[in-house]
Chain A
Amino acid sequence: MRITKETVEHVANLARLYLSEEEKAEMTEKLNSILDYMEKLNELDTSQVQPTAHVIPIKNVFREDRIWESLPLKETLKNAPDRDENFFRVPRIIEE
């Protein structure tokens, strides 16, 4: 199974990216390279192998549920590209 342009368009939509026709052609080729990596990996029988989610032994991490100081509102909003007082401004998403 090879990856088609339609798959690339679907993935680009999931990734929230617009791609030019040229980029789509390039990405089709790149995504197909993933299948090549998988072919390599599938040479190995891993049916009895546990996946490594974390390389170093680690216990569950808990912390006390207590109130602590968070970033001031002004600081939090400082980098917003568009804001209205204490809100991030975004295009309307609910129809009138």
Chain B
Amino acid sequence: MELHKLTIHESHELLKKKEISSEELTKALFERIKNVDDKIKAYITLDEERALLKSREVDKKGDFSNPLTGIPAAIKDNICTKDLKTTCSSKILANFIPPYDATVSARLKTGDVVFLGKTNMDEFAMGSSTENSAFFATRNPWDTSRVPGGSSGGSAAAVAADECIFAIGSDTGGSIRQPAGYCGVVGMKPTYGRVSRFGLVAYASSLDQIGPITKDVTDCALVLNAIAGHDKLDSTSADIPVPDYTESLKPDVTGMKIGIPKEYMGEGIDAEIREAVLEAAKIFEKMGASFEEISLPHTEYALWAYYIIAPAEASSNLARYDGIRYGVRAKDYDDLIDLYKKTRSEGFGAEVKRRIMLGTYALSSGYYDAYYLKAQKVRTLVKRDFDEAFKKYDFILVPIAPTIAFKIGENTDDPLKMYMNDVCTIPVNMAGLPGISLPCGFSQGMPIGLQIIGKPFDEPTILRAAYAFEQATDFHKNKPGI
């Protein structure tokens, strides 16, 4: 048996029956990482010694009643893990060892999850290809000449290449769903506030959300069960009850109404991808649901508003990197201001500087009302579009991206494609909605991602729809030939 190929629920069954031990499983994963990670480069830091220690401790306890107990996982490198380096793939945090756990890390540890290591990402989660890491680019396991997507590209690639059983990512404008789509795995951005952001290195606080990247929909529900819920340490986390998400895993969409917004299906989307999404809609129809074309008229504006809001919040969040309390400090400096400026200029990569500059300008004196406030008002209109649609439809079906994963170093010169690349995911963050990505086809041997968008806190419906689709199709059974 190739243990590294197991899902969470398969591993759990075997652990419970004592047919395998967590130590065997953990060792199998490190073996797999040794065999393939020089090609994929999903991990930035490995924690083998402590992982093995943890797995032995879990085996000794022998209590596998929690479905995540003893399961080896990878964590995106912008989520704090106590005593384990957390760099955000930035030179400015290259030596940062958090003295505390993010709430998500702490909750997984309470469930005795085994942490294998930290995964590569675009620096400070800014980018959509994991080429923006200050250290190295991650590669797509389906074709190593292509990107895995971003910014959780390391996490998605690790799951797709069976270098972990599941992974955790973060999503500000599509950073879980898009790499999951490019790598042919399942990725979910929960409703804003569903999962605590305490200990997540902040990019754009009103948009960021942590979520699971898994091999199938069942695993996605299991991880969400473990990490969702109110947290006193994050005052924006929602204080409402958390359902058992595994209860929504029924292959039944009878009577459900699906909206397919025309703004996501037009020019700029590859024909094969549009076709795959329509095929998916027909599969839902066969299972008793119905679909029709709808319109979300402010979709385009969501994107322009995002380009104001995200950098504005980033510039404010990244002000804390000053070389005083943590991180790397520049060597020679004249005075305090010079220390700040040298540290930040040497520590931040080009994309991060760009966004800090855009944001600082948008928030600078005299421009706040004209820019940030205006963008937040447009955000209200984007949210209203969705509210209207959800009065009539149970969920919305769209592509995850206009193309399959592109080649590393290939700068997309088609501005329409670049624009569409973001427009498939960003409005979901702007409205704070939950969205799940799962495989729905292949083009040139590369996975195509389907996105299901739900009402606020209605993760159960999108999980159910995703589960029904997965049961009716075989796309998730394909594995990259790595």
Which A positions have Cβ atoms within 8 angstroms of B? 3, 7-8, 11-12, 14-19, 23, 26-27, 30-31, 33-34, 37-38, 40-44, 46, 49-56, 58, 61, 63, 71, 75-76, 78-82, 88, 90-93
Contact = CB atoms under 8 A, between A and B. Distances in A.
Contact of B361 (A31, A58, A81, A90): A31
B301 interface: yes
A40 B304 contact: yes
Nearest to B322: A16
Interface stretch (B9-17, B232-240, B267-275, B435-443): B232-240
B300 interface: yes
A79 B97 contact: yes
B346 to A, nearest CB: 9
B445 interface: no
A71 B325 CA distance: 14
Contacts of B5: none
Nearest to B354: A30
28 contacts: A11-B361, A15-B357, A16-B340, A19-B353, A27-B354, A30-B354, A31-B358, A37-B307, A38-B308, A40-B300, A41-B374, A42-B374, A43-B301, A46-B374, A46-B377, A46-B380, A49-B381, A52-B377, A55-B379, A55-B456, A58-B193, A58-B238, A80-B325, A80-B326, A90-B324, A91-B334, A91-B339, A93-B336
Interface in B349-371: 353-354, 356-358, 360-362, 364, 370-371
Q: Could you say which of A15, A17, A43 has the most chain B C-beta atoms within 10 Å of its C-beta?
A: A15
Contact of B357 (A27, A53, A58, A78): A27
Interface in B74-118: 95-97, 99-100
B383 to A, nearest CB: 6
B373 interface: yes
A85 to B, nearest CB: 15
A23 B319 CA distance: 20
A58 B344 contact: no
B99 to A, nearest CB: 4
Given A16-B341, A42-B374, 15 more contacts: A3-B361, A11-B357, A40-B300, A41-B304, A41-B375, A44-B381, A49-B377, A50-B380, A51-B376, A51-B379, A55-B206, A56-B192, A63-B232, A88-B325, A91-B333
B379 A52 contact: yes
Nearest to B431: A55
Given A15-B356, A41-B301, A56-B192, A34 B371 contact: yes
Contacts of B336: 90-91, 93
A41 B378 CA distance: 7
Contacts of B378: 41, 44, 46, 49
A37 B304 contact: yes
Interface of B: 95-97, 99-100, 191-193, 206, 232, 235-236, 238, 298, 300-301, 304-305, 307-308, 315, 319, 322-329, 333-342, 344-345, 348, 353-354, 356-358, 360-362, 364, 370-371, 373-381, 383, 430-432, 456
Q: Could you say which of A8, A30, A71, A81 has the most chain B C-beta atoms within 10 Å of its C-beta?
A: A81
Contacts of B360: 11, 14-15
A56 B456 contact: yes
B193 A16 contact: no
A8 to B, nearest CB: 7
A11 B362 CA distance: 10
Contacts of A54: 206, 236
B327 A79 contact: yes
B134 to A, nearest CB: 16
B204 to A, nearest CB: 12
Nearest to A56: B193
Given A38-B374, A49-B381, A79 B325 contact: yes
Nearest to A28: B357
Nearest to B340: A16
B379 A75 contact: no
A34 B305 CA distance: 10
B106 to A, nearest CB: 14
Nearest to B433: A55
A45 to B, nearest CB: 10
Contacts of A8: 357
A50 B377 contact: yes
A27 B315 CA distance: 15
A76 to B, nearest CB: 7
A56 B434 CA distance: 12
Contacts of A38: 304, 308, 370-371, 374
Contact of A34 (B193, B238, B362): B362
